[in-house]
Amino acid sequence: MLSRWEKIEHNKIKLKIEVAAPEVDDALDRAYRSVVQKINMPGFRKGRVPRRVLEAHFGPAVLHQDALELLIPPAYSEAISEVDEEPIDQPQFDFETIEAGKPFLFEAIVEVMPPVELGAYKGVEVEQEESELTEEDLDGHLESLREQHARLVTLEEERPAREGDLALIDFQGFVDGESFSGGEADNYSLELGSKTFIPGFEEQVVGMKVEEEKEIEINFPEDYHEQEMAGKEALFKVSLKELKEKQLPALDDDFVKEISDLETVSQYRADLRKRLEEAAAAKAKTALEESLVQKVAEASQVQLPPVLVERQIDRMLGEMDQYLRYQGLTLDKFTELSGKTMEELREEKKEEAEKRTKANLVLDAVVKKEGFAVDDSEIDAKIEELSERHQDDPERIREIFEKQGRIPLLKEELRIRKAIDLMVAEAIIKKVKKAE
């Protein structure tokens, strides 16, 4: 069926494919049986128009589109399977007319995975930061925990506002003596020191007393998201209506029982140390792997196909959109607020997308060179791991993966994991002190 093929420019190949005459005739017969059901002709019941009459009335081409759709996809699939190349884009077809009783010839041009000139991927030197958890680190996490469970209490005493207080304020802003949209609010809650307001504003609320009024002068940042306000001087009339301060719970056994299933502070401290050490080890492992893959990628040579880079940008924007939705935003809303077009956002992502694409191509090349494969038992083990992590039935997870066609992707992930594990096992790892 594949008569010959050749490499052409830009990682593309051209295949010349021939379909035998009997298969052509069979496709035309099947096309006729489909087309005739849609034709109404005087003197014939629907679906009963003889083929010779149908072709005489509409011309032989009436069957060609349906026949081509029956012939080309399977013929192309069979031909590409005979070539040791991996398509990365949709093929473009070129063909002459189809004729009954004759072979059908067509060409397919498709972009394929580019060749990778692998650099060294064994014995690569890489640094890894030592992760040491100190008692001060533990104390800091416990203090953050107390902050998370703090109560806000309205102040009865008369004292000036200070950082950490929650201030209830009314304010009205003016630029060039004129109020502006979005520049005023009543009963606005502002945590002093949170740096969530315009720079310089919170610092001037510190020191105010309840029922005090004050004029605050600030400059909008040059990169302020609302262009018309960027860099401008503004005056805010502020009234402090109420102050609340945080009351942190005591770090005692009662607090531990309230926030966990443990009984004592010492138990909680030991459990927290274990969790933090595991998290730090996982983070260090990920950082090591990323650094190692990047080093191997930099030492390798490959021509990046634009189609793969664009797909990587699509994935990155998809990840960004998902993250924004957790924050109550969308990608479209983000572009609107940031004043950026989608094209500008894609251009910003391009450099990172190129790095990721190259790393993926290099890892794929390692997989092929090492001949890594994944058997059914490894798929079973991965599904079992996922079921334990998500506390779900493994058969249900397998069914979801099969319905969504994700088993091949899972196999590819496991092959890539073998490549990374090999590179780590063979690497020369130098431990370095964590940067201060």
* CATH code, 226: 3.10.50.40
Q: Are residues 155 and 78 in the same domain?
A: no
Residue 76 in domain: yes
Position 414 confidence tier, pLDDT thresholds 50, 70, 90: very high
Q: What is the pLDDT of residues 205-215, one digit of tens each?
A: 999 999 999 99
Q: Are residues 265 and 240 in the same domain?
A: no
Q: What is the pLDDT of residues 96-113, one digit of tens each?
A: 889 999 999 999 999 999
Position 45 confidence tier, pLDDT thresholds 50, 70, 90: confident
- Provide the 10 A C-beta neighbour count for residue 54: 19
Q: What is the pLDDT of residues 344-355, one digit of tens each?
A: 999 999 999 999
d(CA 243, CA 192): 10
Domain boundary among 194, 212, 247: 247
Name the one residue in this structure whose structure tokens are 């890894």: 128
Residue 215 in domain: yes
**Helix residue ranges per DSSP H, 302-375:** 306-326, 331-338, 342-370
Residue 350 in domain: yes
CATH of the domain at 411: 1.10.3120.10
The domain total for the chain is 3
Residue type, 40: N
Global confidence as pTM: 0.74
Position 155 confidence tier, pLDDT thresholds 50, 70, 90: confident
Q: Per-residue pLDDT averaged across 369-387, rounded?
A: 92
Q: Per-residue pLDDT averaged across 383-411, rounded?
A: 90
Cβ atoms of 271 and 265 within 8 Å: the answer is no
Q: Are residues 383 and 278 in the same domain?
A: yes
Residue 402 in domain: yes
Residue 232 in domain: yes
Position 180 confidence tier, pLDDT thresholds 50, 70, 90: confident
Burial of 205 (0-12, 13-18, 19+ CB in 10 A): buried
Q: Are residues 287 and 363 in the same domain?
A: yes
Position 337 confidence tier, pLDDT thresholds 50, 70, 90: confident
Q: Are residues 262 and 241 in the same domain?
A: no
Q: Are residues 307 and 417 in the same domain?
A: yes
pLDDT exceeds cutoff 80 at 436: no
Q: Are residues 235 and 281 in the same domain?
A: no
Residue 369 in domain: yes
What range does the domain containing 202 cover? 151-247
